[in-house]
């Protein structure tokens, strides 16, 4: 589906006129051919900006003219266009036959770091979901928001305190375009708010064949109070948050209608966007459908995914606040506010409005994001359907292989397995055979290159941070020369620093850790990265403590904490480390996807048996911290898990890495062969189509 947009004003030579399409279609984020082309536009500039729209605007007219006559450039440009065209016309294999597309609503999307409208795992998952919808040709349209100040940028002060910066973004430099209506002008949707109408401009991010509509209230028609509704992702203020959720739900449906899009299945990706159902009820009411029948119908073709058992993902509001914003809608629907309230509470007669509860009641098919998570969610919500079988199904998350697989490994697969490996992503037997075909030395060499790139990246990042801290010049130089050893066993740990993820577990016994890290001839190094939510004091304290551990003489240069965890950092890390570490407090990790990204790159997971890992771990493809043993007391659990982690490192991981290269490469291969076919986003999306979307569309 291609949405018409207001044309870009950059004038290019005729030979290069489709460069604009290459730059604005996010397909480049998973097309090496497109990125090769961008790298040639202006030597050095692509490495600095990583944003083709920025290139488009910064490169001079003379330079474009020169490129238009440059045979080598034109050849690479032609290959990039051919890759895009092949993608856009690839066979549609989704198996979804309904008349209209699937509409997918989510507060955040992570496609690439140059379009920062995400905070973490949920956004990256949504980004991977839309990319995959394009890959398999699923008729699909996303809805989200464009945040003027995005999510905060993390910097660390010299004492390790996290500072949270909200930059002001210029959307004209992002790979998004304003949607054009029939008259060629911008499309604006209106949503009633108490005593006024809020207007939102509709933008589109084109993700291969999939458009994602993004709403933005920062326009002149709105009062200053309404312009900032879409300012920050997951803003602090409860009322603004509710305004955002009203906007994405009701405004999102109206944006789809304004473009003539008639979805046949609807996906609530987390409860935040559940108010889209209020708008769909209104549409049915207008057509004369009675409330109970309307409610049955909107639920029938709606799929709801719940992503976490922790409170941040199960949003609650004071009923008074919800009444302020939704009483008028209820009046229009011919129901009492009390009826909406009963639908929205966990316990119908008392307590706050809970968006997960509401979403469960206005959808007909619900899933958690791993088998263990679905079990935990069923335990949480079983009282909702007393006596009947559990309703929450499991669709385990997966990752988009072309986004997360490192370039050297991708080339290795091309050469040793054949370029059609992308057509067999979900075939476990294929990947077992593929790994057998790849020579050990070739896999090791490809991995070593990815690891060298990670070390280089860490050195640059730490040097920049030290320079900003006005560290002595020799400390800055040391960061670029002696920080981390490209030959040492390198372990990665990167995630949001939510307390349940226990980022400091590794430091439970600093003396033991020091011996592990500094053993002569067998050094071990750790790279940490992660943001604590800007409201989460405990998480920020964790960041500060880890920073200070990194500064201790016995760990300096061996354990580093990188600032500003984003997709760029994540990509380097998952592609470059030898082992991926994950030690959450079980069973609070709903799925986790970073370990899947590392796993497909041949970095075995060393993880607590939480989230997706119990489905993947087979004894040969990584390690299980704590052996699944559970304690009611969280301190005892932490002591047990930490002891288990040290023991795994000392007895198995370190000796295998240094003493038995063949056994190590066998572990790497076992990781790829088991994680890639089962935990890629194509497998995930096909599960959604088969179990969620197609049946939902069939119920209308
Ligand atoms: C993959 C990813 C995540 C999610 O990883 P978890 O395993 O859920 O912690 C978060 N942030 C970024 C930038 C990512 O790339």
| HEC sequence for 349-414 | CEEEEEHHHHHHHCCCEEEECCHHHHHHHHHHHHHHHCCCCCCEEECCCCECHHHHCCHHHHHHHH
The stretches of 12-94 forming alpha helices (DSSP H) are 19-24, 32-41, 45-49, 52-58, 61-68, 71-88
Domain check: are 548 and 614 in the same one?
yes
Among 523, 531, 449, which residue's Cα sits nearest to residue 491? 523
Task: Return the ligand 1 atom nearest residue 496 CA.
Answer: 9
Residue 36 CA, ligand 1 centroid: distance in Å: 26
Q: Of all atoms in ligand 1, which is nearest to the CA of residue 570?
A: 15
Question: Looking at ligand 1, which atom is closest to the CA of residue 594?
Answer: 7
264 and 179 inside one domain: yes
Place of tokens 């280089």: 456
- Same domain for 118 and 79: no
Residue closest by Cα to atom 3 of ligand 1: 121
Question: Within a domain: residue 201?
Answer: yes
Does the residue 412 lie in any domain? no
Q: Is residue 325 part of a domain?
A: yes
| 122 token code pair | 């949920």
Sole residue written with tokens 């309703």: 391
Residue with the two structure tokens 């639920």: 299
Q: Has this prediction a pTM greater than 0.95? A: yes
Q: Show the tokens assigned to 28.
A: 């480049």
* Residue 201 contacts residue 181 (beta carbons within 8 Å): no
Q: Both 182 and 201 in a single domain?
A: yes
In a domain, 569, yes or no: yes
- State pLDDT tens for residues 263-295: 999 999 999 999 999 999 999 999 999 999 999
Both structure tokens of 38:
């961008």
Does residue 419 fall inside a structural domain? Answer: no
Choice from 120, 313, 502, 595 to test ligand 1 binding pocket (greatest atom count within 8 A of CB)? 120
pLDDT of residue 10: 84
Domain termination site, one of 88, 110, 133: 88
Q: How far is CA 507 from CA 272, 516, 545, 555, in A?
A: 36, 12, 10, 11
In a domain, 420, yes or no: no
Domain of residue 445, CATH code: 3.40.50.2000
First to last CA, the chain: 22
* Measured distance CA(607)–CA(611) in Å, rounded: 10
Structural domain for 140, as ranges: 102-397+686-698
CA of 350 to the centre of ligand 1 (A): 36
For residue 96, report the phi and psi dihedrals to the nearest 5 degrees. Answer: -95, 115
Q: Ligand 1 atom closest to Cα of 495?
A: 9
Q: Which of 88, 121, 150 is the last residue of a domain?
A: 88
509 CB-contact burial (10 Å; exposed 0-12 / middle 13-18 / buried 19+): middle
pLDDT of residue 499: 87
224 lies in the same domain as 365: yes
Asked whether the beta carbons of 557 and 483 are under 8 A apart, the reply is: yes
Chain-centroid distance of CA 285 in Å reads 36
Give 573 Cα–ligand 1 centroid separation in angstroms: 11
Residues 388 and 446 placed together within one structural domain of the fold: no
Rounded Cα–Cα distance for residues 5 and 548 (Å): 49
| CB atoms inside a 10 Å sphere around CB 431 | 24
Distance 94 CA to ligand 1 centre (A): 26
Does 376 fall in a domain?
Answer: yes
Distance (Å, whole) CA 61 – CA 306: 49
Q: Which residues contact 325 (CB under 8 A, 6 or more apart)?
A: 193, 194, 242, 243, 246
Distance 152 CA to ligand 1 centre (A): 16
**Residues 561 and 603 reside in one and the same domain:** yes
Residue 557 and residue 478 in contact, taking contact as beta carbons nearer than 8 Å: yes
* Residue owning tokens 């007393």: 386
Q: Kindly report the protein residue whose alpha carbon is nearest to atom 2 of ligand 1.
A: 121
Tokens 């370039």: give the residue: 407
- The single-letter DSSP state of residue 179 is B
Residues with CB under 6 A from ligand 1: 120-121, 124, 495, 565-567, 570, 592-595, 597
**Residue recorded with tokens 């130089």:** 477
CA distance to 20, 116, 260, per residue, from 41 (Å): 13, 24, 38
Same domain assignment for residues 591 and 483: yes
Query: Both 192 and 63 in a single domain?
Result: no
Residue 406 in domain? no
Q: How far is the CA of 181 from the centre of ligand 1 (A)?
A: 36
Q: Whose alpha carbon is nearest atom 4 of ligand 1?
A: 121
Residue 141 DSSP class? E
Best CA proximity match to 172, nearest among 48, 58, 330: 58
The 350-354 sheet, strands edge to edge = 316-317, 350-354, 345-347
Ligand 1 centre to CA of 566 (Å) is 8
CA-proximal residue: ligand 1, atom 11 (nearest): 120
Report the residue among 405, 562, 583, 593 best suited for mutation to probe ligand 1: largest number of ligand atoms under 8 A from its CB: 593
Q: What ligand 1 atom has the least distance to the C-alpha of 121?
A: 4
DSSP letter at 606?
Answer: E
Q: Is 120 exposed, middle or buried (0-12, 13-18, 19+ CB in 10 A)?
A: buried
Residues 167 and 316 in one domain: yes
Residues 227 and 205 in one domain: yes
Of 268, 270, 473, 269, the closest CA to residue 280 belongs to 268
Dihedral over Cα of 686, 688, 692, 694: its sign: negative
Nearest atom, ligand 1, residue 569 CA:
13
Strand, helix or coil for residue 146: coil
- Eight-class DSSP state of 490: E
- 269, 316 Cβ separation under 8 angstroms: no
Using only the alpha carbons of the chain, give its radius of gyration.
25
Rounded Cα distance, 486 and 353, in Å: 52
pLDDT in tens, 170-190: 999 999 999 999 889 999 999
Q: Is 534 helix (H, G, I), strand (E, B) or coil?
A: coil
CB atoms within 10 A of CB 522: 15
Neighbours of 43 (CB within 10 A): 8
Cα angle 399, 402, 407 (rounded to 5 degrees) comes to: 125
CA pair distance 208, 546, nearest whole angstrom:
40
How far is ligand 1, taken at its centre, from the CA of residue 571, in Å? 10
| Cα 279 from chain centre | 27
CB 213 within 8 A of CB 202: yes
Give the total number of structural domains in the chain: 3
Alpha carbon nearest to ligand 1 atom 5, residue: 594
Which of 594, 600, 605 to probe ligand 1 with, by most ligand atoms within 8 A of CB?
A: 594
**Cα–Cα distance between 640 and 652 in angstroms, integer?**
18
- Do β-strands 524-529 and 489-494 pair in parallel, antiparallel, or remain unpaired? parallel
Low-confidence ranges of the chain (pLDDT < 70): none
For ligand 1, atom 6: residue with the closest CA: 592
Are 383 and 458 contained in the same domain? Answer: no
Ligand 1 atom index nearest CA of 399: 1
> Cα–Cα distance between 362 and 385 in angstroms, integer?
14
């Amino acid at each position: 589906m291609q949405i018409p947009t207001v044309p870009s004003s950059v004038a290019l030579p005729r030979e290069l006129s489709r460069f604009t399409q290459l730059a604005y279609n996010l397909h480049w984020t998973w097309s090496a051919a497109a990125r090769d082309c961008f790298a040639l536009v202006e030597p050095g500039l692509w490495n600095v900006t990583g944003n083709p729209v920025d290139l488009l605007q910064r490169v001079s007219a003379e330079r474009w003219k020169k490129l238009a006559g440059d045979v080598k450039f034109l050849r690479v440009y032609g290959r990039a266009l051919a890759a895009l065209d092949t993608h856009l016309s690839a066979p549609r294999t989704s198996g979804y036959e309904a008349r209209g597309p699937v509409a997918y609503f989510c507060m955040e999307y992570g496609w690439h770091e140059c379009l920062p409208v995400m905070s973490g795992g949920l956004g990256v998952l949504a980004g991977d979901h839309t990319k995959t919808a394009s890959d398999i040709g699923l008729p699909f349209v996303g809805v989200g928001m464009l945040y003027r100040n995005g999510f905060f940028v993390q910097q660390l002060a010299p004492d390790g305190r996290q500072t949270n910066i909200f930059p002001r973004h210029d959307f004209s430099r992002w790979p998004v375009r304003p949607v054009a209506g029939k008259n060629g002008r911008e499309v604006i949707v209106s949503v009633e708010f108490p005593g006024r109408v809020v207007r939102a401009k509709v933008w589109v991010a084109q993700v291969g064949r999939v458009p994602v509509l993004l709403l933005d209230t920062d326009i002149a028609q709105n009062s200053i109070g309404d312009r900032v509704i879409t300012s920050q992702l997951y803003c602090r203020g409860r009322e603004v948050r509710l305004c955002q959720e009203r906007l994405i739900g009701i405004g999102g449906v109206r944006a789809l209608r304004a473009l003539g899009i008639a979805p046949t299945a609807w996906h609530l990706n987390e409860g935040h966007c559940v108010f889209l159902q209020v708008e769909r009820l209104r549409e049915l009411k207008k057509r004369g459908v009675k409330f109970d029948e309307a409610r049955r119908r909107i639920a029938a073709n709606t799929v709801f995914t719940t992503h976490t058992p922790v409170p941040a993902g199960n949003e609650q509001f004071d009923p008074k606040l919800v009444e302020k914003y939704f009483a008028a809608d209820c009046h229009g629907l011919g129901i009492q506010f009390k009826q909406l309230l009963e639908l929205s509470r966990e316990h119908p007669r008392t307590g706050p409005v809970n968006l997960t509860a509401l979403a469960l009641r206005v959808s007909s098919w619900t899933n958690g994001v791993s088998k263990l998570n679905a079990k935990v969610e069923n335990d949480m919500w079983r009282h909702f359907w007393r006596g009947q079988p559990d309703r929450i199904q499991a669709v385990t998350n997966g990752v988009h292989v072309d986004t997360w697989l490192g370039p050297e490994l991708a080339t290795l697969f091309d050469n040793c397995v054949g370029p059609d490996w992308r057509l067999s992503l979900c075939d476990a037997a294929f990947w077992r055979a593929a790994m057998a075909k790849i020579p050990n030395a070739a896999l090791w060499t490809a991995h070593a290159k990815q690891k060298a790139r990670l070390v280089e990246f860490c050195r640059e990042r730490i040097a920049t941070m030290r320079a900003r801290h006005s560290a002595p010049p020799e400390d800055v130089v040391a960061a670029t020369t002696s920080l981390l050893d490209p030959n040492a066993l390198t372990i990665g740990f990167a995630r949001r620093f939510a307390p349940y993820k226990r980022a400091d577990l590794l430091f439970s016994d600093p003396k033991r850790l020091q011996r592990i890290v500094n053993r002569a001839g067998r050094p071990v190094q750790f790279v940490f990265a992660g943001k604590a939510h800007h409201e989460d004091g405990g998480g920020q304290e964790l960041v500060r403590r880890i920073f200070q551990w990194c500064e201790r003489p016995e760990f300096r240069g061996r354990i580093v904490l990188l600032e500003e965890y984003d997709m760029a950092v994540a990509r380097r890390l998952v592609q470059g480390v030898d082992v991926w570490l994950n030690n959450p407090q079980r069973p609070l990790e709903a799925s986790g996807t970073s370990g899947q990204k590392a796993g497909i790159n041949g970095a075995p997971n060393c993880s607590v048996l939480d989230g997706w890992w119990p489905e993947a771990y087979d004894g040969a493809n990584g390690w299980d911290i704590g052996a699944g043993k559970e304690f009611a007391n969280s301190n005892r659990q932490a002591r047990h898990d930490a002891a288990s982690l040290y023991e795994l490192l000392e007895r198995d991981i370190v000796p295998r890495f240094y003493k038995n290269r063949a056994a190590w490469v066998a572990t790497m291969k076992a990781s790829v062969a088991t994680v890639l076919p089962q935990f890629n986003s194509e497998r995930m999306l096909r599960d959604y189509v088969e179990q969620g979307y197609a049946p939902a569309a069939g119920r209308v």
